[in-house]
Structure 1
Amino acid sequence: MLIFRQLFDPTSSTYSYVLADGASRQAVIIDPVFEQAGRDRALIGELGLTLLYSLETHVHADHVTAAWLLKARLGSRIALSRHGGAQGADRLLREGDRIAFGARYLGVRETPGHTDGCLTYVLDNESMAFTGDCLLIRGCGRTDFQQGDPRRLYRSVHEKIFSLPGECLLYPGHDYRGVTVTTVAEERAFNPRLGGDLSESDFAGYMDNLGLPHPKKMDIAVPANLRCGQPQDGAPAHDPDWAPLSYTFAGIWEIAPNWVAENLDAVQILDVRENAEYEGPLGHIPGALLLPLGELAAHADKLRDDKPIVTVCRAGGRSAQATNILRKAGLERVANLAGGMLRWRTEGYGVVGGAD
C-alpha cells in the first residue's frame, strides 16, 4: 500500500507531497516549505512514518525549503539535483537514480529549463509523477532567471514527461487556482504553452516575451535554498510546548488566529499599534493590552510572565519585531499573531470597536 498526501502552503501556493510505503512506514517528502515544517512533522508523527528524505525538485525562488529543518528535527537526508548548486545536500541526484522508501521508489528524471537543476520524480509503476515547476497544470515554470532556457524546458517536458503513460497522474509544484492534479494525456492535449501542435520555436517565442516581475521572496529564498534552507543563525533546538507554533525563516515564532481565538483566556494579547489604530476601524482583540512598539523596550520588564504573550499589530510586521524585544527582556513564551488584525478580522473573530 502506498500512503500519499498532498499538502499546500497558501502563502506561496506551493504543493508538498508525502509518500510512504505502507508496510515499512518509510517515507519521503517532496518540496517541503520552511514555515510548514511543524505541520509536516505532525503529519509524519501521526501516521507513524520514518522520514528518509526531503527531495527538492529544484532550487526555489518563491519559498524557503524546510529540508534542513526537517533534517535537524527528524534526521532525514536531503537530496536534490547535482546541477542545483546547493551546499549541504546529503545526496546529489542525476538521471536514472532511484530514491527507495521501503519496497517503493521514485525514479529521477532531469528536466532542466526552468532552472538547470530541475528534477521530475516518477513513482516506480509510472502511475504518478512530481514535476515541480517544470510542468504546471495547463502551464509551466518561467524561464527568465536562474539559468532558465525555454528550448531546454520544451525538450524536457516532451522527452521526459509527455513520454510517460497518458493516464499517469501529474502533481505540480504550484497551482494558483486550486487545481490539484492533471494527467499526461490532458497536458499533451490541452496545455496552452506546451501541448497540441505547438513547436519548440512557438514556445520559446512565447516564453521570451512574458515580461514578468521577479518573485517577491527571490532575494531571500534563493540564497537560503542554496544552503538547503539552513538559516544563517540556525534554529531553536526545541519547539515551544505551550501552543502549536510555526517558526518562520526570519526567526519568528508565529501562532494562527484560530488557536488564539479558542484560548484567549490562556494568553496575554499585547497590541503594539498606536492608540489611534487600537481604537480605529480594525478594532482590537478583547482583553488586549495596548503598548505601542516604540515604547515596548522601556516597559517590557513590567509585563507579567504568568501567561504566554501573543503580540499583534495591523499585519504582523511590527508585532514580529516586538517578539524579539520581549525575548531580549527575558520573556520566552512569546509568539506573533500571524497576519495581524487584518487576518483576525478576515477570519471572522471577535473585536472590540472597529467598523463593521
Structure 2
Amino acid sequence: MNPIQLFDAESSTFTYILCGPDSREAVIIDPVDHNLERDLAHIERLGLTLAYVLETHAHADHVTSAGKLRELTGAKACVPSGCGIPPAEVQLNDGDVIRFGAGETISVLHTPGHTAGSMSYVWRGNAFTGDTLLIDGCGRTDFQSGSADALYDSVTNKLFTLPEDTRIWPGHDYKGQSVSTIGWEKRHNARLANRTRVEFAEVMAALNLPRPKLIDVAVPANRNLGLSHGA
C-alpha cells in the first residue's frame, strides 16, 4: 500500500493518509488547518474511518488541524511526548507502536534535532521523517530546542540504519520533489551525505535562515492541537 500524499502550497507541508488493504481504519500525519475540508473529503471519498492523527513535532510554519479532526471524527491525537502538547490523548515515546486497522503497525522513532521532541514514523517500508530528514536536505536546527548534533545522530544512527529501499516521505518540500529512499539520501543528501559531525554542524551554523513568519502564532496553537485556548 502506498501512502496518500497531500500538499499545502502555502507552507510547503506534506500531509499523509495511511490505510491498509484489509480495513477501513486510517491514520493522518501532519494535517494543516486550512486543508481540513480537503482532508475530510479524501477520507469520506475513500470510505475510511480516521483512527489517529499523528504529529511529527510542534510545527512553526503552519497550524495543525489535529484538534478539529479529533472533534469531527473521534480520532485520537498522537504526539511526541517531548513537544509539550498536553491535550493529546497519546504521548509517544521512542520505540512505541501504533496499531490500527487489520494488523497495521506504525513504529515510532524519536529523531530529535529539528526540535527536541521530533518523531519519525515507519509503516510498511515507508518512513515519515517530518522535518528531521528532507529530500536532499534536513530541517533547520536553530530554534525550538534544535540541535545540529542531535539531528546528525538521529539521521546517521536511526534513519540511515533503516533498509536502504525504505521510502522517505518528508514533512516539507521546496523543490518539487515528493519521495526518496534511505539509500539515495545516504549517498547524495547535500547536507548529510559523507559529512562528519563537525562538517555538518558547520553547514547548519552557516545557513542564516529567516525566522518563520508564523512561529509566534503556530507554536502556541499547535501545543493545543491547533485549537484556540478554551475551545
Same fold (TM over 0.5): yes
Instruction: Give 1 or 2 for the bigger CA radius of gyration.
Output: 1
Q: Distance in 2 between matches of 1:90 and 1:106?
A: 17
Alignment of 1:299-338 (within 5 A): none
- In structure 1, the residue matched to 2:201 is 204
Alignment of 1:222-237 (within 5 A): 222-232=219-229, 234=231
Alignment of 1:249-264 (within 5 A): none
* CA contact 1:3–1:22 (8 Å) conserved in 2: no
SS in 2 for 1:83: helix
- Are 2:55 and 1:73 equivalent residues in the alignment? no
Alignment of 1:167-246 (within 5 A): 167-195=165-193, 197-232=194-229, 234=231
- Are 2:118 and 1:118 equivalent residues in the alignment? yes
- In structure 1, the residue matched to 2:150 is 152
Q: Distance in 2 between matches of 1:158 and 1:4?
A: 24
Displacement after TM superposition at 1:138 (Å): 0.2
Q: Distance in 1 between matches of 2:11 and 2:2?
A: 25
- Are 2:95 and 1:91 equivalent residues in the alignment? no
* CA contact 1:58–1:80 (8 Å) conserved in 2: yes
Residue type of the alignment partner of 1:206? V
- In structure 2, the residue matched to 1:163 is 161
Deviation digits for residues 27-60 of structure 1 (CA, Å, limit 9, x no counterpart): 0000000110111011101111110111000000
Aligned-pair Cα RMSD in Å: 1.0
Residue type of the alignment partner of 1:104? E
- Could you tell me the percent identity over the aligned residues? 48
Q: Distance in 1 between matches of 2:21 and 2:160?
A: 29
Stretches of structure 2 lacking an aligned partner (at least 5 in a row):
none
Residue type of the alignment partner of 1:163? T
- In structure 2, the residue matched to 1:6 is 5
Residue type of the alignment partner of 1:9? D
Displacement after TM superposition at 1:104 (Å): 0.9
- In structure 1, the residue matched to 2:55 is 56
Deviation digits for residues 136-171 of structure 1 (CA, Å, limit 9, x no counterpart): 000000000000000100000011110011111000
Deviation digits for residues 277-334 of structure 1 (CA, Å, limit 9, x no counterpart): xxxxxxxxxxxxxxxxxxxxxxxxxxxxxxxxxxxxxxxxxxxxxxxxxxxxxxxxxx
Q: Residues 157 and 3 from structure 1, CA distance in 2 versus in 1: closer, same or farther, beyond 3 angstroms?
A: closer
SS in 1 for 2:28: strand
- The TM-score normalised by the length of structure 1 is 0.63
Displacement after TM superposition at 1:205 (Å): 1.3
Deviation digits for residues 52-86 of structure 1 (CA, Å, limit 9, x no counterpart): 11100000000001100100111111001110111
Q: Distance in 2 between matches of 1:233 and 1:79?
A: 20
Displacement after TM superposition at 1:209 (Å): 2.1
Q: Distance in 2 between matches of 1:214 and 1:206?
A: 18
- In structure 2, the residue matched to 1:331 is none
Q: Distance in 1 between matches of 2:121 and 2:156?
A: 15
- The TM-score normalised by the length of structure 2 is 0.97
Q: Distance in 1 between matches of 2:230 and 2:96?
A: 33
Residue type of the alignment partner of 1:154? Y
Deviation digits for residues 263-287 of structure 1 (CA, Å, limit 9, x no counterpart): xxxxxxxxxxxxxxxxxxxxxxxxx
Q: Distance in 1 between matches of 2:77 and 2:128?
A: 17
Q: Distance in 1 between matches of 2:94 and 2:134?
A: 21
* Greater than 3 Å deviation, 4+ residue runs: none
Stretches of structure 1 lacking an aligned partner (at least 5 in a row):
235-356
Q: Residues 171 and 3 from structure 1, CA distance in 2 versus in 1: closer, same or farther, beyond 3 angstroms?
A: closer
Displacement after TM superposition at 1:3 (Å): 5.8
Q: Distance in 2 between matches of 1:226 and 1:107?
A: 23
Q: Distance in 1 between matches of 2:22 and 2:188?
A: 38
Q: Distance in 1 between matches of 2:105 and 2:46?
A: 19
Displacement after TM superposition at 1:21 (Å): 1.9
Q: Distance in 2 between matches of 1:198 and 1:132?
A: 21
Residue type of the alignment partner of 2:20? D
Give the paired residue count: 230
Residue type of the alignment partner of 1:8? F
Q: Distance in 2 between matches of 1:222 and 1:152?
A: 21
Q: Distance in 1 between matches of 2:190 and 2:175?
A: 16
